[in-house]
Chains A and B, each alone.
Chain A
């Protein structure tokens, strides 16, 4: 199915606006799962996509919580400045 060839292109977004990019990557995986679920003709790929969406929601909540806590302490949101572990 040549549609999937185009879908694979979407999978290559990453880096920089990091959390949003993570959402993008999860979405690309979702598209792939659902495309294959349609190709195979079973509904299980969609079930897995639901679990991935759940994970994305949890990850976004926790990630943004960490971001807020970090901003409260350090007054920055740049990844370069996050060197708390580097002593």
Chain B
């Protein structure tokens, strides 16, 4: 019961601030609401018993990526962009596409809920399993190669960002 209340609270917070991210007038407000949305997502992770992901989400997203975003917003002064219209001309098309995708998702959920045998059963009640240890074991045993590839990807991204920011391209 408490689980459900917590989940609905965080889910409502996430959806609300996600809407505000898209519709906020200035980019700084958008970034602040994005922080709220990411924190709410972290709360959902915690409610789903994924403690490691919860910590990673807070440190990496809220601490890392959002600082990067806010740095760039400050670097690129957006006062000029603030007075432009927020939504571009293809807003109607975007709304249409979003509605179509939403219909797809709703249909998938509607069909999948009937087909999924697990769907009606209660989630497995776990007695405080060591989440971080399990994730680490899976990451370093059966997902070793993707892990290394991800590190190479990070290296490439780092070099690319440095090269692009260094001098004018």
Using a Cβ–Cβ cut-off of 8 Å, how many residues does chain B contribute to the interface with A? Answer: 77
Q: With both chains docked as a complex, state the minimum distance between the C-beta of B47 and any C-beta of chain A, in angstroms.
A: 9
Report yes or no: B22 in contact with A16, Cβ–Cβ below 8 A: yes
Contacts of B21 in A (CB 8 A): 13, 17, 20-21, 24
Contacts of A13 in B (CB 8 A): 18-19, 21-22
Q: Choose from A8, A20, A49, A54 the contact partner of B150 (Cβ within 8 Å).
A: A54
How many A-B contacts if CB must be within 8 Å?
186
B-contacting residues, A34-72, CB 8 Å: 34-35, 37-41, 43-44, 46-47, 49-51, 53-62, 64-69, 71-72
Question: Do A43 and B150 contact each other (CB < 8 Å), given the known contacts A60-B69, A69-B169?
Answer: no
Report yes or no: A38 in contact with B49, Cβ–Cβ below 8 A: yes
Question: Do A39 and B139 contact each other (CB < 8 Å), given the known contacts A10-B15, A17-B21, A49-B53?
Answer: no
Q: With both chains docked as a complex, state the minimum distance between the C-beta of B117 and any C-beta of chain A, in angstroms.
A: 11
Q: Choose from B8, B69, B118 the contact partner of A39 (Cβ within 8 Å).
A: B118
Contacts of B108 in A (CB 8 A): 8
In the complex, B124 has a CB within 8 A of chain A: yes
Cα A63 to Cα B64 in complex, Å, equals 14
Report yes or no: A44 in contact with B138, Cβ–Cβ below 8 A: yes
- Besides A59-B157, A68-B72, 20 other A-B contacts (C-beta < 8 A): A1-B123, A4-B109, A5-B109, A10-B15, A13-B19, A15-B94, A27-B37, A34-B44, A38-B48, A38-B124, A47-B135, A47-B138, A47-B139, A49-B50, A49-B53, A54-B154, A60-B68, A61-B161, A67-B76, A73-B169
